Structure 1
Amino acid sequence: MKKILFVCLGNICRSPLAEGLMTNKIVKLGVEEQFKIDSCGTADYHIGELPDERTSENANKNGLELKQRARQFEAADFNRFDHILVMDNANKMRIIGQATSEEHLHKVQLMRDFETDSSLHGTDVPDPYYGGNEGFQNVFNILDRCTDNLLNYHLQAIEN
């Protein structure tokens, strides 16, 4: 079983959307028993809250329903997950700062490293929190592409 964790700052916009997209894709493929998907934030601002209303509205518009509640990243997540996908470089540094081994460091990667266009590798998924609806759709589009590529990456690894 592949265990994947998506991480952003507050766990109310980007990471719950990535979790919802990935979960929806693996259910559609009928491979949910091969994956464990979760999300969290590096900050404690929104623990226990549902995703941001604008994120949920955008997800619904695109055929997804987000039900997860925000939680904060904890050091034990390094042992619970095989792959930790972080939405931006600032949060990646926060996660790396909690690593206690090389094994932990190897689990951490930026979400956009799974973009089809390699010139976007290493870049941030923009935080739509302070923007308008177009920002939420842009993030949806980015995460939709990246979760497709991430899923294909893990499915190939499972097959081999």
Structure 2
Amino acid sequence: MLCFFLCLLKGNICRSPIAEAVFQKMVTDAGTVDKWRIDSAATSTYEIGSPPDHRGQACMKKHGVPMSHIARQVTKEDFMNFEYILCMDDSNMSELKRKAKSVSNYSAKIELLGSYDPQKQLIIKDPYYGSQEDFETVYEQCVRCCKVFLENNS
């Protein structure tokens, strides 16, 4: 299975690398890491080459979740190479669908990560302009959503 997390605002340094790290740890702990290719990217170019936001890194460290990622932009190949592209909000979804139109016969299923949330919180809000608590909320949402996604795709 190939899984890809995508976010937009400030470009792949907050929500998507948190989701990527959370899911990577889940499949590692489950002993199924060899069945997955996991990555994340942004639709924008704002932060290409940057590490994750320091508040996100602190949150992951607090929860014992390894995080190593360098921001990048989504490519046309991603639409062909990943089975799932899971985005964080409606803006991401719209931009992804717009970009997907330029890729003929793409195979990726584009969904909101929040569609897997048992608490029905469909949108994972960008914590960039918020507090450390907002990063904690993103982490908790990603844990819930990734757990259900993994259960549905094991």
Query: Is the TM-score greater than 0.5?
Result: yes
TM-score (norm. length: structure 2)? 0.93
The answer to whether 1:98 aligns with 2:134 is no
Distance between the aligned counterparts of 2:104 and 2:116, measured in 1?
22
Shift of 1:148: 0.4
Stretch deviating more after TM superposition (22-31 or 100-109): 100-109
Query: Unmatched 5+ residue regions in structure 2?
Result: none
The answer to whether 1:47 aligns with 2:41 is no
2:134 maps to amino acid:
G
Query: Unmatched 5+ residue regions in structure 1?
Result: 156-160
The answer for the alignment partner of 2:2 in structure 1 is: 3
Distance between the aligned counterparts of 2:127 and 2:20, measured in 1?
16
**Aligned Cα root-mean-square deviation (Å):** 1.6
Indicate if the aligned counterparts of 1:96 and 1:105 stay in contact, CA closer than 8 A: no
Residues 32-57 of structure 1: CA deviation (Å, up to 9, x unaligned): 11111000011111111110000000
Distance between the aligned counterparts of 1:80 and 1:73, measured in 2?
11
Residues 77-102 of structure 1: CA deviation (Å, up to 9, x unaligned): 11010000001100110000011379
Distance between the aligned counterparts of 1:90 and 1:102, measured in 2?
22
Indicate if the aligned counterparts of 1:99 and 1:105 stay in contact, CA closer than 8 A: no
Indicate if the aligned counterparts of 2:112 and 2:123 stay in contact, CA closer than 8 A: yes
Count of residue pairs the alignment pairs up: 151
What SS is found at the alignment partner of 2:41?
strand
The answer for the alignment partner of 1:108 in structure 2 is: 110
Distance between the aligned counterparts of 1:65 and 1:56, measured in 2?
9
Indicate if the aligned counterparts of 2:80 and 2:108 stay in contact, CA closer than 8 A: no
Structure with greater helix share of residues: 1
The answer for the alignment partner of 2:31 in structure 1 is: 30
Indicate if the aligned counterparts of 1:115 and 1:145 stay in contact, CA closer than 8 A: yes
Distance between the aligned counterparts of 1:104 and 1:90, measured in 2?
20
The answer for the alignment partner of 1:144 in structure 2 is: 143
The answer for the alignment partner of 2:74 in structure 1 is: 73
